[in-house]
């Protein structure tokens, strides 16, 4: 069965297409892909993985055509980033930046 494995590395998209036997798991696909050799900084511990945007366990059995996604850790807090954008937008508009009581 044919599956693909993708990883959005900081330097660009890494992709491997693999032919695996029926019953192969996500973990087996990652091991066969050479991911740890290409991206050792992300290989231990193994980051979260998913199939088509849905988190899954490494033990999940694959189906033909699955796209395995390896997720990098976030380098920023999305909520903090959103708050900063709102502050900048308010500052650009000349209004005082609104901070919530949680700050």
| Residues 32-55 pLDDT 10s | 999 988 888 887 788 899 999 999
CATH architecture of 2-70: Roll (3.10)
Q: In this predicted structure, what is the pLDDT of residue 101?
A: 46
pLDDT exceeds 50 at position 74? yes
Q: In this predicted structure, what is the pLDDT of residue 103?
A: 47
Q: Over pLDDT 90: what percentage of the chain?
A: 51
For the record, the structure tokens of 50 come out as 């998913």
Most confidently modeled of 47-51, 72-76, 95-99? 47-51
Q: In this predicted structure, what is the pLDDT of residue 17?
A: 96
This prediction's pTM: 0.69
**Under 8 Å between Cβ of 49 and 70:** yes
* Distance separating alpha carbons of residues 101 and 30, to the nearest angstrom: 45
């Amino acid at each position: 069965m044919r599956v693909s494995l993708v990883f959005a590395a900081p330097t660009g998209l890494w992709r491997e297409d693999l032919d695996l036997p029926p019953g192969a798991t996500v973990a087996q696909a990652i091991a066969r892909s050479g991911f740890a050799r290409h991206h050792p900084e992300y290989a231990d511990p193994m980051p979260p993985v998913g199939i088509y945007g849905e988190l899954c366990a490494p033990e999940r059995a694959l189906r033909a055509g699955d796209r395995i996604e390896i997720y990098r850790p976030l380098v920023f807090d999305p909520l903090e980033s959103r708050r900063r954008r709102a502050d900048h937008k308010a500052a650009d508009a000349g209004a005082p930046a609104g901070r919530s009581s949680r700050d």
